[in-house]
Homo-oligomer: A and B are copies of this chain.
Amino acid sequence: MTGLDQVDEVLAALADPMRRRVLDGLAARGEATATGLAGELPVSRQAVVQHLSVLEKAGLVSSRRSGRERRYRVEPQRLDATARWMARVAATWDARLDVIRRLAESPDPKPSPSTTASPTARPPR
């Protein structure tokens, strides 16, 4: 539902520090070109272009041509969606831990053979 491969792309995109710096610069300027951003980054213009390409495929950035230059700007939706996905997963984990703690504290007569394999609820895809 939450586009699981979208999440994949976003996470992969955000994983790179330089890419986050590009995003920072972009968010600060509001709108900028590759060469402009490269001006205050320790890498070549082409590197920035490639990063922006990845970011755009991930939906974190959009671009449009304006004359002989290409303007980029940040795109919050995907990021927000990913944030919500992440919060949901965290909540699932939390619930899972509660179950474990309850089992541990309960005066359980069955010591359970080996693994704590419990065929209970499975987290959403």
Asked whether A15 lies within 8 Å of B11 as measured between CB atoms, the reply is yes
Asked whether A86 lies within 8 Å of B96 as measured between CB atoms, the reply is no
Query: Who on chain B is nearest to A60 by CB?
Result: B93
Chain copies in the assembled complex: 2
Question: In whole Å, how far is A39's beta carbon from the nearest beta carbon of chain B?
Answer: 10
Asked whether A116 lies within 8 Å of B28 as measured between CB atoms, the reply is no
Residues of A in contact (CB 8 Å), total: 42
In the complex where A79-B86, A86-B79, A96-B74 touch, is A118 in contact with B30 (Cβ < 8 A)?
A: yes
Asked whether B90 lies within 8 Å of A30 as measured between CB atoms, the reply is no
Query: Who on chain B is nearest to A114 by CB?
Result: B36
| 30 intermolecular pairs with C-beta atoms under 8 Å apart | A11-B11, A14-B15, A15-B15, A27-B89, A27-B92, A27-B96, A28-B122, A29-B115, A29-B118, A30-B96, A30-B99, A30-B116, A31-B100, A33-B115, A36-B115, A74-B93, A74-B96, A75-B93, A76-B90, A76-B91, A76-B93, A76-B94, A79-B90, A79-B93, A80-B86, A80-B90, A82-B86, A83-B83, A83-B84, A84-B87
Interface majority SS (helix, strand, loop, mixed), chain A: helix
Contacts of A64-111 to chain B: CB distance below 8 A: 73-76, 79-80, 82-84, 86-87, 89-94, 96-97, 99-100
